[in-house]
Amino acid sequence: MLNYPIFQQTSDMGFNYLPVYSSLSVSITLHSCINIRNLIISYLETHQSQIVFISIKWSTFTFDQRRLCSVSDLCLSLFPGLEDVMANSRKYGERLHVWEGWRRQVGQRMRPLYEDYVDLKNEAAKLNGFEDYGAYWRYNYETIEDDALYKYTGDQLMDDVRSIYQQILPLYKELHAYVRAKLMETYPGHIDSDGPLPAHLLGDMWGRFWSNLYPLTVPFPDKPDIDVSNTMVAKGWTEERMFKEAEKFFMSVGLYKMFDNFWTNSMLVKPEDGRKVVCHPTAWDMGNREDFRIKMCTLVNMDHFLTVHHEMGHNQYQMAYRNLSYLLRDGANEGFHEAVGEIMSLSAATPKHLQSVDLLPADFVYDNGNTDINFLLKQALTIVATLPFTYMLEEWRWQVFAGNITKDEWMERWWEMKRELVGVVEPLPRDESYCDPPALFHVSGDYSFIRYFTRTIYQFQFQKALCDAAGHTGALSSCDITGSTAAGTKLRNMLELGRSQSWTRALQTISGDVKMDARPLLDYFQKLHEWLEVENQKHGRTIGWRTDRDPFSENAITVRLSLKAAMGDEAYSWNDNELYLFKSNIAYAMRQYYSQKNQSIHFTAENILNSNPTPRISFDFVVTDPASPSIFIPKSEVEAAIRSSRGRINGAFKLDDKTLEFVDIMPTLAPLVQQPVEVWLVVFGVVMGIVVLIGVYLIISGIREKPKEVTAENPYSADADGHSNKAYEDSESELTGF
């Protein structure tokens, strides 16, 4: 990776060198200067911007300092500890623990910063006349040309990248199918034969390069090993010797010897004095025309041997244009700088070159059959596998900066695109508390990433041109330009242009092309492509992948909520707070369930992972083991825990088993059935009840009084004087004398 100093003396940024260049060079320089100045000014306008900028940079600085404790309680930093696990471990659970832990340690913590970063970068870009920050990045590829042949725009870049992705897709799909079959053998039961690849099984922390999968995928293991890592160690190679051999290679083609201060000022190994450093390999131009450095925590292995050539290739480019004005000291575009480093790696990786530096035995015979396929597959695991990864990452960022992917769907769309474009799936459910992209150094470090796509295309265009200049005959994959000053001169002529000409003209200088062309890359891998087609067909392998496959669905439970049906207009909204409450209730249910089994397991909301949310309020969730988040609690156990706490969960949301539905989990109690009742029926019933009661009362009263009725006639006339008539007395009051 290329880095630029921020402490270049301002006197060297003047225009005193400009008269020696064409008017086009002057226009390019002025254009660059104006936009650099404006972007810096507008970016630093607010106190908030400064805080976010410093926070992002500090997070990047501490990137390698994050420590993660493994399942064996061994706490490791990213380099070399965690990277070593991801490169060499064959334990599915251990790899998953490291993969997930890194994204929690870095991605989740970066989420609020990255949200502010997107807003502020967009604001700065718009103040400089760009539609968004993605457009500002793509501006690096735009050319200021009157001649239409050399004119190029940011929109053309997007179109070309998408078109080239489609061109390389058939080769990638064959490679993907082959690698999937080999991973299925290593991790049985974890990968579907027609599904995507779990992201944590691809050889590094990010799945960017698959080179560490070579031992699992080597087509003909009985052939001599072309990965010379063990040989380098056995022969006592040191980190410094790796750099010395790279320097010899550059000098052999007529390029530059490194300045003496390179060896004293560079950091070629990780310090042992306790200093905290970022180990990601970078090449530095200190801006004074005589100080060029590399910062790298080098290990003695083949991958780092090739990386050394790549980084020193950056230094060679920097030394070639060091006499230009400061603002023209850069690659023709960002992809050119990366491509120059990579073409050196292409030659350094060939068996012919490895034999020349005594890393393959003198009697090694490079045939054009099985050994060639081994070599090409190893190259493809690094080169072909990374193209969809790179395109997808930058396409996502372009869409984020353009506002086409909103913050509330970052992770949903990230993994949706990862499945569709790369054929890679998240091994654990993701929700919007995560922010997986900044877990990669380049994203958190604010680097445009499309350079790694364009460089891969350019490097094969460069390689073909240099091999032709060197008089190479035969397959492009066998070309080693070591010792060819003709090839070196052709390359140096292009390098010395720096940014003084548009990249379309610079490309024409070396290859005769004026735009990206994937044909040299496809030609390089043609033999491997044909072999993969036959091999995959022979074993009946599916080419391509289904996007609806993942490693966790069998343990996932689907939830559906019907708030409107339950509460009508009084329904509350479902948001992050409600989701957290849901997770907390499930965690409580899990604790209670296991406590009844005399097991104390401290489940928290962090152990409840949800995925596949829909606007109609449904989602899936799984439960992970608190002691090892890479292990799923079996679905049957989670279902039992939910059944035992169903009433509590329902009550927390004022719902019932029908409006808070756990799909495939039967209700424990049937809900009360309430029939709708009309008011007039109630009134009518009450009135009729009263009438009936009165009627019954009157009937009963009449029956009881009937025996008491006695008819008695008075034989006497009424006493007008009011005297008592003794002949008339109540029969019940008569006195009897016996």
Asked if 341 contacts 517 with a C-beta cutoff of 8 angstroms, the reply is no
* CB of 461 closer than 8 Å to CB of 517: yes
d(CA 190, CA 427): 10
Please state whether beta strands 197-198 and 424-425 pair in parallel, antiparallel, or not at all (unpaired): parallel
Burial class (CB in 10 A: 0-12, 13-18, 19+), 119: middle
Distance CA 556, CA 638 (A): 9
d(CA 472, CA 469): 8
Distance CA 210, CA 378 (A): 9
Containing H/E element for 373? helix 370-383
Burial 513-526 (b: 16+ CB within 10 A, else e): bbebbbebbbebbe
Q: Which residues sit opposite 624 in a β-bridge?
A: 632
Is residue 704 a known part of a binding site? Answer: no
Q: Which of 280, 304, 442, 472 is catalytic?
A: 442
Relative to beta strand 282-285, strand 292-295 is: antiparallel
Is 451 annotated to bind a ligand? Reply is: yes
Q: Does an H or E element contain 612, and which?
A: strand 608-614
Known binder of ligand: residue 141? yes
In contact, 670 and 647? CB cutoff 8 Å: no
Encode 221-242: b = buried (16+ Cβ within 10 Å), e = exposed: eebeebbbbebbeeeebebeeb
Report phi then psi at 733, rounded to 5. Answer: -100, 0
Q: How far apart are the first and last CA of the chain?
A: 140
Cα separation values, 140 from 313, 514, 552, Å = 21, 16, 41
> Alpha-carbon distance 373 to 252, whole Å?
28
Instruction: Examine residue 19 and say whether the peptide bond preceding it is cis (omega within 30 degrees of 0).
Output: no
CA distances from 520 to 253, 464, 465, 472, 475 (A): 22, 7, 10, 15, 11
> CA 470, 474, 477, 482 torsion: positive or negative?
negative
Point out the catalytic residue in the list 83, 100, 247, 311.
Answer: 311
Contact 130, 139 (CB under 8 A): yes
Binding residue per annotation — 602?
no
Query: Cβ(376)–Cβ(525) under 8 Å?
Result: yes
CB atoms within 10 A of CB 181: 18
Tokens, residue 403? 């506002």
Rounded CA-CA distance 620/429 in Å is 9
- Short-list 11, 720, 30, CA closest to 327: 30
Determine whether 280 is an active site residue. Answer: no
Q: 200 catalytic, yes or no? A: no
Task: Report the C-alpha dihedral over residues 154, 156, 159, 160, rounded to 10 degrees.
Answer: -110
Integer angstrom CA distances of residue 332 from 112, 140, 520, 689: 35, 9, 20, 98
Asked whether the CA dihedral 695, 699, 701, 702 is positive or negative, the reply is positive
Instruction: Yes or no: say if 164 and 390 are a contact pair by the CB < 8 Å rule.
Output: no
Q: Answer yes or no: is 95 a known binding residue.
A: no
Given the structure tokens 């072309």, which residue do they identify? 226
Known binding-site positions: 141, 310, 314, 338, 451
- Residues marked active site are found at 311, 442
Known binding-site positions for chloride: 141, 451
Known binding-site positions for Zn(2+): 310, 314, 338
